[in-house]
Structures are given as C-alpha cells and as structure tokens.
Amino acid sequence: MNKNELVAAVADKAELSKQQATAAVDSVFDSISSALAKGDDIRLVGFGTFSVSHRAASKGRNPSTGAEVDIPARNVAKFAPGKGLKDAVNGSK
C-alpha cells in the first residue's frame, strides 16, 4: 500500500473527502516526524511504539575497493509493533 492507497482507505473508512483524508494522513506523519526529531517516543497502545535510537560511529569497508570507510554517528528511527498489531498480522484477531 502506498500513500495514495492509504489516503483512499482512510477517506472510505472515515467517510471523509480525499482532500480531508490527505490532510489527516499528512498531519499524522508530520506529528510523528516532529516528535521523533525532538527525541520523543510515540506510543500507540495496541499498534506500536516509534522511538529514536543513537547509532555510534563505526568503521566499514567499501565492497568494491576494500578501502576502510568512516561511518558517522547518527540517530535512527525505530518501530516496535504492539500486541494488537502482531495479533492482527498473525490472524489472531
């Protein structure tokens, strides 16, 4: 499912226009991105948790030349599914 399909599904289930559903989906994505950028966690009970993790600097290798490459430290977004989502994916619900 891509973003347009998600917007169409939200519009259908919530009985909204596609324009309203697009605004709602964009607002959710913007809110999640903003919270993660500030270092906050987002816990959606039954769905999952979005969080930020710090990845330390490390050394890697260029596969074609074998030369050592420095990989800088960075923050990465993580998602851990909740029980409700796991059950839905496994057909338990």
The pLDDT tens digits of the residues spanning 8-46 come to 999 999 999 999 999 999 999 999 999 999 999 999 999
**Model confidence at 93, in pLDDT bands (50, 70, 90)?**
low
pLDDT greater than 60 at residue 89 = yes
Distance between CA atoms of residues 87 and 93, nearest Å? 6
Fold (topology level) of 41-93: HU Protein; Chain A (4.10.520)
Q: Which of 39, 48, 38 is nearest to 79 (CA)?
A: 48
Q: What is the reported pTM?
A: 0.78
Q: Are 93 and 84 in contact (CB under 8 A)?
A: yes
Residue 87, both tokens: 């059950």
The pLDDT tens digits of the residues spanning 43-60 come to 999 999 999 999 999 999
Q: How many CA atoms lie within 13 A of 5 on its CB side?
A: 2
